[in-house]
Amino acid sequence: MKLYELRNGVTLNGSATANYVRGELARFLRRAPYQVNLLIGAVDESPEQKSEPSLHWIDYLGAMTKVNFGAHGYGAHFCLSIFDREWKPEMSLEEAKEVLKKCRAELDVRFLVRNGQWAYTLIDANGISQVKVE
């Protein structure tokens, strides 16, 4: 994205970045396809100086949609149903941690592979930081 900014003199917001990446994946699909699914999250400043978070899901075919939550990998099959049931607008950090605890507990019961270490990353208007979930 930095190269795009240097070439074009334009800094893309979160939605524009997601659309650019989607277009690049769709273009390469016909030449040298990539097998990649990704989530692009951003917090953009609106004209009213209100932070607007966004999360975009892009699959390997270049299809994109804006989502409220997301997960990838084998564990996503278990976590997405919990996110769907528990997510609500304007969740606090503590409420989000409780949802993550439920996901971890579900994976401990149902998933075949055990992962001893969990890393949680918070992306918000203040930047990117590591979060402890006990």
Q: What was the pLDDT predicted at 104?
A: 92
Q: Are residues 77 and 63 in the same domain?
A: no
At residue 39, what are phi and psi to the nearest 5 degrees? Answer: -115, 130
**Average pLDDT of each block of 10 consecutive residues along the chain (134 residues)?**
84 88 89 88 78 90 93 90 95 95 92 80 88 90
Q: In the chain, where do the E strands start and end?
A: 38-45, 51-58, 64-66, 120-124, 127-131
Check whether residue 34 and residue 77 sit in a common domain. Answer: no
Task: Identify whether residues 103 and 82 lie together within a single domain.
Answer: yes
Residues 6+ apart with CB under 8 A from 39: 55, 56, 57, 58, 67, 70, 72
Give me Rg for the CA atoms of the chain: 17
User: What is the residue range of 20's domain?
Assistant: 1-67
Are residues 53 and 29 located together in one domain of the fold?
Answer: yes
Number of domains forming the structure of the chain: 2
Do residues 79 and 62 both lie within one domain?
A: no
Q: Which residues contact 22 (CB under 8 A, 6 or more apart)?
A: 56, 58, 62, 63, 64
82 and 125 in a single domain? The answer is: yes
**pLDDT given for residue 49 in this prediction:** 66
- 51 and 99 belong to one structural domain: no
Q: Are residues 58 and 102 located together in one domain of the fold?
A: no
**Element spanning 77, H or E:** helix 76-86
